[in-house]
């Protein structure tokens, strides 16, 4: 049996080769909220999105489903190297990708942040950390699996 954490880490490993820079052109697929299970293409305003900090309302962290959101949050590290406490507090309505955005309260020992996330991006795993954080590096085992 694979536990949820291992499954989430596997998803991260499958997409670990994704670029660690902001996307700045092209269309993307998002889940269509009006037809369950279907996807649709959107052409985001990349200039407006990338002008805002990652994790803000105007540039939410993209993920796939709640498991993707929580996998990302579990990999965040505070400035002191410790993992933050996080809790979903609400949704913020439609975001820049035309899908619903979730708002999380993310707390470190000395600071509290609001992180906006959009979970309607099939197969997408964010490789950048929101400001104020770093992302947990891959373990030696994860690095080994990537080389296979």
Q: What is the pLDDT of residues 3-62, one digit of tens each?
A: 334 444 434 333 333 445 778 889 999 998 888 889 999 999 999 999 999 999 999 999
Q: For the chain, how many residues are written?
A: 148
Q: Could you tell me the sign of the dihedral formed by the alpha carbons of 41, 46, 49, 54, in that order?
A: positive
Q: What is the pLDDT of residues 113-141, one digit of tens each?
A: 999 999 999 999 999 999 999 999 877 78
Beta strands in 32-123 (DSSP E): 39-42, 61-62, 76-77, 85-94, 100-107, 112-118
Give the chain's domain count: 1
Give the Cβ contact number of residue 85 at 10 Å: 13
Give the Cβ contact number of residue 77 at 10 Å: 16
Residue pair 125/11 in contact (Cβ under 8 Å)? The answer is: yes
Q: What's this model's pTM, rounded to 2 decimal places?
A: 0.80
What pLDDT does 68 receive? Answer: 94
What pLDDT does 9 receive? Answer: 40
Residue 91: domain span: 4-147
- Write down the residue that tokens 């990349």 correspond to: 46
Write the DSSP assignment of 35-54 as a string of letters.
Answer: STT-EEEE---HHHHHTS-T
Residue pair 125/7 in contact (Cβ under 8 Å)? The answer is: no
């Amino acid at each position: 049996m694979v536990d949820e954490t291992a499954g989430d880490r596997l998803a991260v490993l499958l997409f670990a080769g994704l670029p660690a820079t902001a996307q700045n052109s092209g269309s993307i697929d998002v889940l269509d909220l009006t037809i369950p299970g279907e996807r649709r293409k959107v052409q985001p305003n990349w200039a407006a999105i990338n002008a805002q900090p990652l994790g803000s309302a105007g540039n939410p962290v993209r993920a796939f489903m709640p498991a993707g959101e929580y996998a990302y949050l579990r990999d965040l590290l505070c400035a002191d190297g410790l993992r933050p406490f996080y809790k979903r507090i609400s949704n913020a309505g439609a975001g820049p990708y035309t899908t619903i955005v979730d708002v999380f309260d993310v707390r470190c020992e000395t600071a509290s942040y609001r992180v906006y996330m959009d979970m309607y991006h099939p197969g997408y795993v964010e490789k950048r950390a929101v400001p104020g954080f770093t992302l947990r590096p891959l373990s030696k085992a994860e690095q080994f699996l990537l080389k296979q």
